[in-house]
Amino acid sequence: MSTIIELIQNGNVTSAKGFVAGATYAGLKTEGEDLLDLGILKSEKPAVVAGTYSENKVLSPSVTLTKNRASDGVARAVVVNSGCANCCVGAQGLRDAEEMASLAAAHISVPESEVLVCSTGLIGVELPMALVRQHVGNVRLHEQGGAELARAIMTTDTRPKENAISLDLPGRRVVLGGATKGSGMVHPNMATMLCFIATDAPVQQRFLQSALKESVNSSFNMIDIDGDMSTNDTVLVFANGAAGGDEICEGTSEAETFKEALAYLCVNLAKELVIDAEGAQRLIEVVVDGAHSINDARVAARTIASSTLVKAMVHGRDPNWGRVMMALGMSGINFEESNVDIYINDIHMVHGGTAFPYLKDAVINAMSVPEVRFRVAVNAGNASATAWGCDLTEEYVILNSAYST
């Protein structure tokens, strides 16, 4: 079965049937024109839910609450705020997350235990619950509300990031839509990567969880902006079955197709994060192939894409392939230096671990594009992986120093 995935124009998290969303401005973010900072995504019917979360030992109580509730495998909605991470605030954090869920549940008339919570923003300050209480009732849910939700979760993002795809399964057409945010762990302390995916496909919970984990491993876990891991990172996927038909279960060809589509959407959204990274001017794509194992391929690709020196050389369009070799060696994967080939934007620069003489200006020209691609063939096996990063710019430093004086 060959999967045909179609991008839906102006698609977003409410493109899938049976989902509504909306947002309002509660005053948690700095005031400005057209701001939104409190949003809700709701499934008309109870949905199967799966999630992956930050592995940081310091976790926002919003994440703790969501992890617990989502472990049941069913949810109706998620309420999300930007401006405040609800993190490092002691026992008050969990009380506030619970109250925020409770307020949202009452407003949208669903059981409190089926409402999840996400927060993103400044660490170490308490959620201004008075504002949440005052404004949550202003969130109007509607079928085109996905775009509002995407805006409500932005922090230092320069634009909302959302997308949707459709694909045909036997007897039905299903849609997956998503919204994401995050552009560094960042400015000042605005943190976190969040992603919400909603699909009208009916999906078995256990399979949904494993498919999400795999998709995140090849997408959000393969991007690097600044090497830091936030306290609030969360990816949630809701599947409400509104498209009809039998539940998609592990081991079927339908399941493979669905997994492929989910991974495609995740990669698409993850790349949006990197492209919009703070101060970034160029996307870096690192393909490692011929690795001994998929884990080796991933570790190597990520190490190269996140090397400060590789990021800096891309910014300066400096074809210093030695830095790629250094990062490959630093990754510690299985390979022989004398078997390594390196290509920069398809120009073969290194063969068998040593350099071809190259026309420097030609490579500089080849690097003068918005997307710089490294292909590293390690010739140790058959596994391959792709990682994405962005260049390191003076602007990143300026943004993240937040000069206090």
| Positions in 140-179 near a second copy (CB under 8 A) | none
Question: Is the CB of 68 or the CB of 253 nearer to a second copy?
Answer: 68
8 A C-beta contact, residue 48 and residue 239: yes
Smallest gap from residue 347 Cβ to a second copy (A): 14
Q: Among 73, 245, 329, 381, indicate the residue that binds a second copy (CB under 8 A).
A: 329
What one-letter code names the amino acid at 220?
A: F
Output the CA angle 176-151-120, nearest 5 degrees: 95
Question: Does residue 364 belong to the site contacting a second copy (CB under 8 A)?
Answer: yes
Residues 213-232 that bind a second copy (CB under 8 A): 226-231
Residues 32-91 that bind a second copy (CB under 8 A): 55-59, 85, 87-90
Q: What is the helix (H) or strand (E) element at residue 82, kind and residue range?
A: strand 74-84
> Can you tell me the distance from the alpha carbon of 383 to that of 373, in angstroms, rounded to the nearest whole number?
18
Q: How many CB atoms lie within 10 A of CB 84?
A: 26
Q: Among 171, 338, 346, 370, indicate the residue that binds a second copy (CB under 8 A).
A: 338
Q: Among 196, 207, 335, 374, indicate the residue that binds a second copy (CB under 8 A).
A: 335
- Select the span of 74-82, 110-118, 195-203, 321-329 touching a second copy (CB under 8 A): 321-329
The alpha carbon of 39 is separated from its chain's Cα centroid by a whole number of angstroms, namely 18
Question: Is the CB of 144 or the CB of 368 nearer to a second copy?
Answer: 368
- Select the span of 154-162, 240-248, 282-290, 301-309 touching a second copy (CB under 8 A): 301-309
**Catalytic residue selected from 156, 192, 199, 303:** 192
Going residue by residue from 173 to 212, which x/- string records binding to a second copy, judged by CB under 8 A?
-----------xxx-xx-x---------------------
> Can you tell me the distance from the alpha carbon of 119 to that of 47, in angstroms, rounded to the nearest whole number?
21
Residues 6+ apart with CB under 8 A from 353: 325, 336, 337, 338, 339, 340
- Select the span of 72-80, 163-171, 199-207, 312-320 touching a second copy (CB under 8 A): 312-320
β 371-377/283-291 pair status: parallel
Q: What is the CA radius of gyration of the chain?
A: 22
Residues 118-137 that bind a second copy (CB under 8 A): 122-125
> Can you tell me the distance from the alpha carbon of 321 to that of 350, in angstroms, rounded to the nearest whole number?
8
Question: Does residue 347 belong to the site contacting a second copy (CB under 8 A)?
Answer: no
Smallest gap from residue 295 Cβ to a second copy (A): 16
Question: Does residue 387 belong to the site contacting a second copy (CB under 8 A)?
Answer: no
- C-alpha separations of 190 from 116, 118, 136, 231, 398 in Å: 21, 14, 22, 11, 15
Question: Does residue 372 belong to the site contacting a second copy (CB under 8 A)?
Answer: no
Question: Does residue 109 belong to the site contacting a second copy (CB under 8 A)?
Answer: no
Question: Does residue 301 belong to the site contacting a second copy (CB under 8 A)?
Answer: no
Which stretches within 113-242 are classed as H helix?
129-135, 146-152, 205-217
Question: Does residue 359 belong to the site contacting a second copy (CB under 8 A)?
Answer: no
- Select the span of 97-105, 154-162, 204-212, 314-322 touching a second copy (CB under 8 A): 314-322
Smallest gap from residue 273 Cβ to a second copy (A): 16
8 A C-beta contact, residue 55 and residue 229: yes
Tokens, residue 400: 């993240």
b/e code 103-131 from CB counts within 10 Å (16+ = b): bbbebbebeeebbbbbbbbbbeeebbeeb
Tell me if residue 192 is catalytic.
yes
Question: Is the CB of 111 or the CB of 332 nearer to a second copy?
Answer: 332
Q: Among 133, 140, 206, 360, indicate the residue that binds a second copy (CB under 8 A).
A: 360
Q: How many CB atoms lie within 10 A of CB 91?
A: 8
The size of the interface with a second copy (CB under 8 A), counted in residues, is: 72
Smallest gap from residue 9 Cβ to a second copy (A): 37
Smallest gap from residue 13 Cβ to a second copy (A): 27
> Can you tell me the distance from the alpha carbon of 65 to that of 118, in angstroms, rounded to the nearest whole number?
9
Q: Among 24, 82, 268, 307, indicate the residue that binds a second copy (CB under 8 A).
A: 307
Question: Does residue 105 belong to the site contacting a second copy (CB under 8 A)?
Answer: no
Question: Is the CB of 86 or the CB of 257 nearer to a second copy?
Answer: 86
Question: Does residue 374 belong to the site contacting a second copy (CB under 8 A)?
Answer: no
b/e code 342-367 from CB counts within 10 Å (16+ = b): bbbbebebbeeeeeeeeeeeebeebb
Positions marked catalytic = 192
